[in-house]
């Protein structure tokens, strides 16, 4: 099988899937996707040997979606996973890829989740079921899950299910599915029990084996910051300020649009930054790289494809602002630093839900990635002060200041000013564009003091006043919606932005004048959420579109059919699971 396919369009995937892939930033298929998708589209059984983090979820999800009959709401595909976390992750991936398939529904089922909720969801119908073996068996025994029309069965991370003792359950499930089904088995390793299952239940399977990258440059220091609701842009700028030996950086994001948006935001904060993506002409691309080499540009914000082949020795840092889709991409990304034997630093931004990818990267690279804390504003201030002091010392050591000594002496004599007063005013002017004390930083317990002696006594150092709080705006008057039915709306903020249900409720209630009691179910997804509200008039929609949560505009709009129907997990009391 030729694995040098350079676009998903070449894999003959339907247009709605190609649109969704473009939106989430997939530009070229990974090796496992290029190898598996044609086989699965052709209806062949598949035996895939691949590590977590190689992109295998898309390798089976995309062909399954391409072959679905949306009009048939009985389960057409079943994906078995070893853990509830992976079941949720796979279900969310299906939802993301099916963004432009109206009416599509995927249902995750696993132990610890309310059986009542699962029974209700199964009765409504789902095209794809993603579940753990024990809970799938429970529903098969109850007859609440019927697989008469099942077309495809996927065993994901089969060796992990073997290790956890689920292999007998898996075989039981296989025996209760139609003999005509297509079967795909994915496993990081192929122990004998897994091979026996493949020989017994797969029909002339196509075999795909993907070897992931196993080494990275030894001179690259790898670190990660776990995103915990803080603004990623704020975190990025703080890290760039306090990182030692920073010279230049490549910041990786997933989409072409994000390269431009982030580069513009960094420029607004005083950095020399530029975007690099596949929509740029070759001439513009070469111009950006030349500026990076010459030192007139310090930060390039790029996608994976656009950054291939960049070899600029002064790149000291690689920032994975968005998590790569597979371990191969991670290795390629961080290889842009640590060139020619130089030291380099790679920093990964990762959310709690993406920690599986972190472990996969560590396994693939065989190197630990150390956690780091977000620098405080106080640390940023200290760093700026240290740089400012060093600039002063350099000027004193290297420049002829006779003329300026005379200017200061005249001000002392003619204006009656102390040397420290003049120095403080000059320091204020010098740091006006880049304040030594970042905006909003509380006054430290021991404020920095520049000491000087005048007439044998020291006067008080100038104080830094905290800015006054702006008065709170007048509360919005509560609106009367009567007995209006609830309508599901989509908002463009989710788990990846650190949003919490209470923050969404607060923003909508405060800015829209909607009583909190009228706000219904909120479902959080990775990059968006849904919320049930009374039907909103156009003028109120306009207000809420501009309302922000986690600095992200809500851009509220009515949800599409089937969009956001996944039940909330956070508020669900765990049920006792049955051990097998």
| Tens-place pLDDT, residues 409-420 | 888 888 888 888
Q: Quick check: helix, strand or coil at residue 237?
A: helix
Whole-model pTM over 0.85: no
pLDDT in tens, 379-410: 777 777 877 788 888 888 888 888 988 888 88
- Mean residue pLDDT of the chain comes to 82
Q: Quick check: helix, strand or coil at residue 318?
A: strand
Asked if the domains at 9-209 and 220-375 fall in one CATH topology, the answer is yes
Query: What mean pLDDT comes out for the span 110-123?
Result: 90
CB 127, CB 75: distance < 8 Å? yes
Query: What mean pLDDT comes out for the span 105-110?
Result: 94
What is the structure's pLDDT at 568? 39
Rounded CA-CA distance 23/37 in Å is: 20
What is the structure's pLDDT at 229? 57
pLDDT in tens, 122-138: 999 999 999 999 999 99
Question: 475-580 adopts what CATH topology?
Answer: Alpha-Beta Plaits (3.30.70)
Length of the chain: 580
CB 317, CB 372: distance < 8 Å? no
Q: How confident is the model at residue 576 (pLDDT cuts 50, 70, 90)?
A: very low
Q: Which CATH number fits domain 220-375: 2.70.70.10, 3.30.110.40, 3.10.105.10, 3.40.50.300?
A: 3.40.50.300
User: Is the sign of the CA dihedral 546, 547, 553, 554 positive or negative?
Assistant: negative
What is the structure's pLDDT at 309? 66
Is the pLDDT confidence value at 259 over 60?
yes
pLDDT in tens, 349-382: 998 888 888 888 888 788 889 998 887 777 777 7
Element (H, E) at 510: helix 501-512
Rounded CA-CA distance 493/548 in Å is: 9
Is the pLDDT confidence value at 432 over 50?
yes
Q: How confident is the model at residue 100 (pLDDT cuts 50, 70, 90)?
A: very high
How would you class 105 by CB atoms within 10 Å of its CB: exposed for 0-12, middle for 13-18, buried for 19 or more? buried
Give, in order, the Cα–Cα distances in Å from 388 to each of 56, 316, 385, 414, 572: 50, 22, 5, 29, 53
pLDDT in tens, 445-473: 333 333 333 333 333 333 333 333 333 34
Q: How confident is the model at residue 502 (pLDDT cuts 50, 70, 90)?
A: confident
What is the structure's pLDDT at 321? 94
Rounded CA-CA distance 288/297 in Å is: 8
Is the pLDDT confidence value at 310 over 90?
no
Q: How confident is the model at residue 578 (pLDDT cuts 50, 70, 90)?
A: very low
Give, in order, the Cα–Cα distances in Å from 381 to each of 354, 373, 388, 392, 425: 31, 16, 10, 17, 18
CB 525, CB 566: distance < 8 Å? yes
Q: How confident is the model at residue 501 (pLDDT cuts 50, 70, 90)?
A: confident
Element (H, E) at 209: strand 206-209
Contacts of 403 (CB under 8 A, 6+ apart): none
Let me know if domain 9-209 sits in CATH 2.40.50.1070: no
Instruction: Give the residue extent of every domain in the chain.
Output: 9-209, 220-375, 377-404+422-437, 475-580
pLDDT in tens, 271-309: 899 999 878 887 888 889 889 989 899 999 998 877 876
């Amino acid at each position: 099988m030729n694995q040098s396919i350079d676009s998903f369009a070449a894999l003959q995937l339907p247009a709605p899937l190609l649109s969704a892939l473009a939106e989430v930033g997939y530009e070229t298929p990974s090796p496992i996707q290029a190898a598996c998708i044609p086989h699965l589209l052709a209806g062949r059984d598949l035996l895939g040997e691949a590590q977590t983090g190689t992109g295998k979820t898309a390798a089976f999800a995309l062909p399954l979606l391409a072959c679905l009959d949306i009009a048939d709401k009985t389960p057409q595909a079943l994906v078995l996973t070893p853990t509830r976390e992976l079941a949720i992750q796979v279900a969310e991936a299906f939802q993301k890829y099916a963004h432009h398939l109206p009416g599509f529904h995927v249902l995750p089922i696993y132990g610890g989740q309310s059986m009542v909720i699962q029974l209700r969801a199964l009765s409504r119908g789902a095209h794809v079921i993603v579940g753990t073996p024990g809970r799938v068996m429970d529903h098969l025994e109850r007859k609440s899950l019927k697989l008469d029309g099942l077309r495809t069965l996927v065993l994901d991370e089969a060796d992990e299910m073997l290790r956890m003792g689920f292999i007998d359950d898996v075989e039981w499930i296989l025996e209760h599915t139609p003999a005509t089904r297509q079967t795909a088995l994915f496993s990081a390793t192929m122990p004998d029990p897994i091979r026996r299952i493949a020989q017994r239940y797969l029909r002339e399977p196509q075999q795909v084996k993907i070897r992931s990258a196993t080494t990275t440059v030894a001179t690259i220091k790898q670190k990660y910051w776990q995103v915990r609701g803080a603004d990623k842009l704020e975190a990025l700028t703080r890290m760039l300020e306090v990182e030692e030996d920073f010279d230049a950086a490549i910041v990786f994001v997933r989409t072409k649009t994000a390269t431009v948006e982030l580069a513009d935001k960094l420029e607004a904060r005083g950095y020399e930054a530029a975007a690099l993506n596949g929509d740029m002409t070759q001439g513009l691309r070469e111009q950006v790289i030349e500026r990076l080499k010459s030192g007139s540009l310090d930060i390039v914000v790029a996608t994976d494809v656009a950054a291939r082949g960049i070899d600029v020795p002064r790149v000291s840092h690689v920032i994975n602002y968005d998590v790569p889709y597979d371990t191969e991409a991670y290795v390629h990304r961080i290889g842009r630093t640590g060139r020619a034997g130089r030291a380099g630093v790679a920093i990964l931004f990762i959310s709690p839900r993406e920690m599986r990818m972190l472990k996969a990267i560590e396994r693939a690279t065989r190197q630990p990635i150390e956690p780091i804390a977000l620098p405080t504003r106080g640390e940023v201030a200290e760093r700026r002060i240290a740089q400012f002091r060093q600039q002063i010392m350099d000027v004193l050591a290297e420049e002829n200041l006779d003329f300026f000594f005379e200017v200061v002496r005249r001000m002392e004599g003619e204006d009656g000013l102390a040397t420290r007063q003049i120095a403080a005013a000059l320091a204020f002017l010098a740091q006006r564009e880049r304040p030594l004390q970042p905006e909003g930083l509380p006054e430290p317990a021991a404020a920095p003091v520049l000491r000087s002696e005048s007439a044998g006594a020291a006067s008080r150092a100038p104080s830094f006043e905290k800015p006054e709080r702006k008065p709170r705006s007048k509360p919005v008057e509560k609106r009367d919606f009567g007995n209006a039915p609830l309508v599901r709306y989509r908002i463009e903020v989710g788990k990846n932005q650190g949003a919490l249900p209470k923050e969404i409720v607060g923003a909508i209630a405060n800015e829209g004048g909607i009583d909190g009691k009228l706000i219904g179910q909120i479902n959080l997804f990775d990059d968006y959420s849904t919320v049930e509200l009374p039907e909103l008039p156009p003028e109120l929609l306009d207000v809420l579109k501009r309302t922000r949560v986690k600095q992200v505009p809500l851009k509220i709009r009515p949800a599409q059919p089937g969009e956001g129907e996944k039940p909330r997990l956070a508020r669900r009391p765990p049920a006792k699971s049955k051990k097998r």
